[in-house]
């Protein structure tokens, strides 16, 4: 087994958190996985994992190797692809992370079209509303909505989501319809707590091009989009949400847009990648395909 294969196995053990899981994902016998890691440790002269009966975790040297190993394996795969005919089928595994609602409602239904173009790619589609560490979790690329907190990522802007204020007819019947932002002091909002840091998202709107915000009273808060929308549909308060995300509810009259002259600020949408010199052809192919898919849901960012 060569060094690149050993590094691939090391990465899979690190990302899955165990030898059994890594062996299952790689389709290899567990002794083969254990031996590859032992040989790599012997070659480097250091211990890469702390091993317990339940789980393995990276040592400090293992943490130091992780990012370099990801880059080395990616560069090796890209080198192999570079000398193959341009029309040859792309092959290999691709790990992608998407916000859960976008994954379920937009991307997953269209994946047959992606695989028709690239049948040799094996896709691992992760979806959550938390911000994952692309390097430590071995993610090739991710779709992020909102301002980026990390400057260590390479970003490809795709546009912005237009947001609206929305409420259910039942809520508006009980509390009245706000006519201006001054009316917000008499209303409830469904709170949204960021799954990444737990901080409550402020209620914001634009007035004459200037960003305004105020605290809102909430009886319930959520930390994912599904529950956030469900609470609004139940009449528990108003929400601020990308318009596409509740389009069907608006069309069926289950939600209504309010305060349309004072919209919330738009949210940037971008593909992000770990900071490395080159994107693999697999990542580039998926990124180009996803950009085309998202074009139907985003607007161009205003200067």
Average pLDDT score over residue span 146-160:
83
Quickly tell me which residue has 């994902």 as its tokens. 25
Token pair in block for residue 142: 């991710």
pTM recorded for the entire structure: 0.73
Three-class secondary structure of residue 148 per DSSP = coil
CA dihedral defined by 225, 231, 237, 239, rounded to 10 degrees? 20
- The mean pLDDT value for 121-141 works out to 81
Residues recorded for the chain? 303
Instruction: Flag the least confident range among 72-81, 166-175, 226-235.
Output: 72-81
Asked whether 128 and 100 are in contact (CB, 8 A), the reply is yes
Give the other-Cβ count within 10 Å of 105's Cβ.
14
Beta bridge partners of 203: 214
How far does Cα 197 stand from its chain's mean position?
Answer: 15
Q: Are 226 and 101 in contact (CB under 8 A)?
A: yes
For 265, how many CA atoms within 13 A lie in the half-sphere containing its CB?
18
Would you place residue 202 in the very low, low, confident or very high pLDDT band (cuts 50, 70, 90)? confident
- CA atoms of 283 and 112, how far apart (whole Å): 17
Q: Which token pair is 34? A: 């254990």
Question: Which residues does 297 contact at the CB level (< 8 Å), separation at least 6?
Answer: 106, 161, 244
Q: What share of the chain is helix, strand, coil (3-state, %, to 5)?
A: 40, 25, 35
Find, among 91, 114, 105, 14, the residue nearest to 58 by Cα: 14
Q: What angle do CA 80, 283, 7 make, to 5 degrees?
A: 55
Tokens representing 234 are: 């139940």
Over the stretch 19-38, which tens digit does the pLDDT of each residue have? 888 888 788 898 999 999 99
Q: Are 70 and 11 in contact, with CB atoms under 8 Å apart? A: yes
Model pLDDT, residue 151: 64
User: Mean per-residue pLDDT for 28-55?
Assistant: 88
* Burial label, 141 (beta-carbon count in 10 A; 0-12, 13-18, 19+): buried
Domains and CATH numbers, the chain: 1-83 (1.10.10.10), 88-161+267-303 (3.40.190.10), 163-265 (3.40.190.10)
Residue 242 has pLDDT above 60, yes or no: yes
SS3 54: coil
| Whether residue 303 has pLDDT greater than 80 | no
Strands (E), the chain: 49-51, 56-58, 92-98, 121-127, 141-145, 153-161, 163-167, 191-192, 203-207, 210-214, 221-222, 239-242, 256-258, 267-274
Average pLDDT in the chain = 87
Q: What are phi and psi of 115, to 5 degrees?
A: -70, -25
- pLDDT value at residue 8: 86
pLDDT at 178 over 80: yes
Q: What's the pLDDT score for residue 220?
A: 95
pLDDT at 158 over 90: yes
pLDDT (0 to 100) of residue 91: 82
| DSSP class per residue in 194-222 | -TTT-PBPPEEEEETTEEEEE--B-S-EE
pLDDT at 57: 87
CA quadruple 68, 152, 295, 195: dihedral sign = positive
Query: In this structure, what token pair is assigned to residue 198?
Result: 């737990």
pLDDT of res. 251: 96
pLDDT-derived band at 293, boundaries 50, 70, 90: very high
DSSP classification of residue 40: H
């Amino acid at each position: 087994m060569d060094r690149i294969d050993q590094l691939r196995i090391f990465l899979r053990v690190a990302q899955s958190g165990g030898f059994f899981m890594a062996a299952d994902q790689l389709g290899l016998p567990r002794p083969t996985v254990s031996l590859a890691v032992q040989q790599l440790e012997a070659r480097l002269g250091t211990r890469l994992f702390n091993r317990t009966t339940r789980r393995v975790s990276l040592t400090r040297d293992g943490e130091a190797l992780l990012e370099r190993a990801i880059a080395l394996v990616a560069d090796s795969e890209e080198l192999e692809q570079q000398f193959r005919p341009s029309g040859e089928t792309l092959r290999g595994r691709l790990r992608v992370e998407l916000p859960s609602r976008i994954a379920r409602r937009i991307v997953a239904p269209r994946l047959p079209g992606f695989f028709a173009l690239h049948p040799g790619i094996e896709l691992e589609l992760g979806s959550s509303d938390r911000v994952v560490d692309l390097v430590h979790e071995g993610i090739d690329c991710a779709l992020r909505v909102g301002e980026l907190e990390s400057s260590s990522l390479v970003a490809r802007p795709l546009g912005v989501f237009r947001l609206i204020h929305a409420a259910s007819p039942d809520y508006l019947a009980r509390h009245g319809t706000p006519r201006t932002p001054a009316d917000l002091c008499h209303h409830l909002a469904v709170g949204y707590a960021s799954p990444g840091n737990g901080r409550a998202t402020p209620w914001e709107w634009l007035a004459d091009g200037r960003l305004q915000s105020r605290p809102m009273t909430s009886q319930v808060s959520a930390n994912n989009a599904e529950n956030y929308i469900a609470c609004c549909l139940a009449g528990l308060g108003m929400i601020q949400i990308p318009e596409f995300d509740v389009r069907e509810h608006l069309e069926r009259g289950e939600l209504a847009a309010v305060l349309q002259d004072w919209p919330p600020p738009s949210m940037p949408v971008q593909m992000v990648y770990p900071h490395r010199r080159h994107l693999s052809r697999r990542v580039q192919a998926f990124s180009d395909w996803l950009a085309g898919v998202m074009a139907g849901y985003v607007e161009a960012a205003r200067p």
